[in-house]
């Protein structure tokens, strides 16, 4: 834990130290990156420069061949031996690069031209070797004969006028008409001397860049350090001001807390009253729905009872209301009153809460819901059909399941009443597929599907409670 006394120093020093640390890390990464790039570029430069030197060797050799072809055609009427001698003398005079020269052998390893081996002109070099003991002249001839385009050979040979052997790259190509093997070469030391010069120039540029980066980083670090110090001082002053404000606010809060408990109690009381009002409204809505269903169920029996009384009155007027007729009418009225009483019991039992699961038949649960909604649907002239292809038993809450089906039927009824399709009807189909019971409610109107799905989603929670978690119930068009 940082003490309050050390907090001002910590606020001032932390950003400054962070800036310096960040600057050091960035400088290190930049310098490391530059020197790693230098190594990669150096290796690439070396490979490219050697390839370029080889290409120059090939080009110099091609120039010799072009010169020979040109003069051969130019002096084709002259003595061939004289033309060859003039060509060989010219070849010995050719120079390129630092220590580049041209030599010529025939295919029998006999030396025909060499600016620095005049004493060996005409000698057989078959068994001559380089500084490592390799039979390089045999390799020269073999390389030239294998590929008409020519080829490269690495060997060790003495420098002109120095005598010290050094590694050399040679390019050999056959002049087929004269049977000459023309060679051009370059000393690897000369290549690397030029490469090192290029590397030195690159390194000098990188050093200058690194020095510039260091100076820039140090200058920016100093600037940002000063800015950070000034900003930290301002932040510290702001914190002090806020500290005073917090102390004042704490005093205000203490005063506010004294009356806060009373406000909370008042708010809880109002919330409970609102909750009671909402619960009361919900119960009234449920009661209204139940009364609506009971009214539809009672309308027909009441009409029949009214008809019985009217028949009794008519019979009395005409003197036909004997004891037998009255008893018959009383039995019929008693039957209707029992039916109405049974309807009340059905509704009371239907909406009772269930506390335990039981095994029930899907068909019966659906039929219970249909019986309650049948009169309401009939009143709106909506036909309802139950198709049972294969019934099944499930473990769950039968009344809760029936209530869900009843709600879906009422939603479907409301949609049909609103849309008013021709010959409205609701079909319920029960069938079994891969151990999952599917309930398919289908109406004649296409627009019903959207409203029906909304009703299904509204009652999903009740459906989940009614059935086991491993059973799925799907409503489809």
Specify the pLDDT at position 171. Answer: 94
Specify the pLDDT at position 439. Answer: 44
| Whether pLDDT at 351 is above 90 | no
Task: Specify the number of domains making up the chain.
Answer: 2
CATH of the domain at 154: 3.30.450.20
The verdict on residue 123 lying in a domain is yes
Do 57 and 171 form a contact (C-beta atoms < 8 A)? Answer: yes
DSSP assignment letter at 119: G
Per-residue burial over 294-332, b = 16 or more CB atoms within 10 Å of its CB, e = otherwise = bebbbeebeeebeeeeeebeeeeeeeebeeeeeeebeee
Of 90-99, 303-312, 387-396, 435-444, which range is least confident? 435-444
Confidence bin at 163 (pLDDT 50/70/90):
low
CATH of the domain at 439: 3.30.565.10
The verdict on residue 220 lying in a domain is no
pLDDT digits (tens, 9 = 90+) for 3-42: 666 666 666 677 777 877 877 887 778 778 777 777 777 7
The verdict on residue 462 lying in a domain is yes
Q: Provide the greatest CA pair distance for the chain.
A: 169
CA distance 475 to 470: 17
Specify the pLDDT at position 298. Answer: 67
pLDDT: which is higher, 176 or 467: 176
pLDDT digits (tens, 9 = 90+) for 275-327: 787 766 765 665 666 666 666 666 667 777 777 777 777 777 777 767 777 77
Confidence bin at 203 (pLDDT 50/70/90):
confident
Of 193, 214, 232, the last residue of a domain is 193
The verdict on residue 57 lying in a domain is no
Quote the tokens at residue 96. Answer: 């390129």
pLDDT digits (tens, 9 = 90+) for 47-84: 788 888 889 889 999 999 999 888 888 887 777 888 88
| Whether pLDDT at 456 is above 50 | no
**Cα atoms in the Cβ-side hemisphere of radius 13 Å centred on 64:** 31
Write out the DSSP string of 274-319: HHHHHHHHHHHHHHHHHHHHHHHHHHHHHHHHHHHHHHHHHHHHTT
The verdict on residue 157 lying in a domain is yes
CA distance 26 to 210: 12
**Which domain, by its residues, includes 150?**
79-193
The verdict on residue 71 lying in a domain is no
The verdict on residue 336 lying in a domain is no
In the numeric block, the tokens 């640390």 are attached to: 21
Minimal CA–CA distance to 332: which of 316, 313, 309? 309
Evaluated on CA atoms 376, 379, 381, 383, the torsion sign reads positive
Specify the pLDDT at position 173. Answer: 94
The verdict on residue 44 lying in a domain is no
Specify the pLDDT at position 194. Answer: 72
Of 163, 193, 223, the last residue of a domain is 193
Of 151, 170, 193, the last residue of a domain is 193
Confidence bin at 105 (pLDDT 50/70/90):
very high
């Amino acid at each position: 834990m940082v003490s309050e006394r050390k907090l001002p120093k910590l606020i001032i020093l932390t950003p400054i130290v962070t800036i310096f640390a960040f600057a050091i890390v960035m400088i290190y990464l930049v310098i490391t990156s530059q020197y790693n790039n230098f190594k990669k570029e150096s290796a690439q430069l070396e490979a490219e420069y050697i390839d370029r030197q080889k290409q120059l060797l090939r080009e110099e050799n091609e120039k010799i061949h072009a010169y020979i072809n040109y003069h051969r055609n130019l002096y084709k009427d002259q003595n061939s031996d004289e033309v060859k001698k003039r060509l060989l003398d010219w070849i010995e005079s050719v120079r390129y690069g630092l220590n580049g020269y041209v030599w010529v052998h025939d295919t029998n390893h006999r030396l025909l031209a060499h600016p620095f081996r005049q004493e060996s002109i005409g000698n057989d070099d078959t068994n001559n070797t380089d500084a490592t003991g390799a039979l390089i002249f045999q390799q020269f001839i073999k390389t030239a004969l294998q590929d008409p385009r020519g080829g490269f050979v690495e060997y060790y040979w003495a420098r002109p006028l120095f005598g010290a052997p050094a590694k050399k790259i040679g390019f050999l190509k056959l002049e087929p008409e004269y049977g000459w093997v023309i060679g051009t070469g370059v000393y690897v030391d000369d290549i690397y001397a030029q490469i090192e010069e290029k590397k030195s120039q690159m390194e000098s540029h990188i050093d200058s860049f690194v020095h510039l980066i260091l100076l820039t980083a140090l200058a920016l670090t100093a600037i940002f350090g000063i800015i950070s110090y000034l900003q930290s001082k301002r932040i510290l002053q702001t914190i002090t001001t806020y500290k005073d404000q917090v102390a004042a606010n704490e005093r205000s809060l203490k005063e506010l807390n004294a009356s806060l408990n009373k406000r909370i109690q008042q708010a809880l009381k109002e919330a409970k009253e609102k909750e009671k009002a909402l619960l009361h409204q919900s119960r009234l809505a449920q009661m209204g729905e139940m009364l609506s269903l009971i009214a539809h169920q009672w309308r027909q029996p009441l009409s029949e009872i009214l008809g019985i009384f009217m028949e009794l009155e008519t019979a009395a007027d005409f003197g036909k209301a004997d004891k037998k007729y009255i008893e018959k009418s009383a039995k019929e009225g008693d039957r209707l009153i029992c039916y109405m009483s049974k309807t009340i019991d059905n509704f009371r039992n239907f909406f009772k809460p269930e506390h335990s699961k039981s095994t029930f038949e899907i068909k019966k649960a659906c039929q219970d819901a249909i019986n309650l909604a049948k009169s309401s649907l009939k009143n709106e002239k909506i036909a309802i059909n139950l198709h049972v292809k294969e019934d099944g038993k499930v473990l769950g809450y039968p009344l809760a399941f029936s209530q869900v089906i009843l709600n879906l039927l009422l939603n479907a009824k409301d949609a049909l009443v609103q849309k008013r399709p021709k010959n409205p009807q609701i079909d319920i189909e029960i069938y079994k597929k891969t151990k999952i019971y599917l309930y398919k409610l289908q109406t004649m109107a296409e627009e019903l599907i959207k409203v029906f799905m909304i009703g299904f989603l509204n009652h999903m929670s009740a459906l989940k409670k009614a059935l086991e978690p491993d059973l799925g119930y799907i409503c489809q068009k």
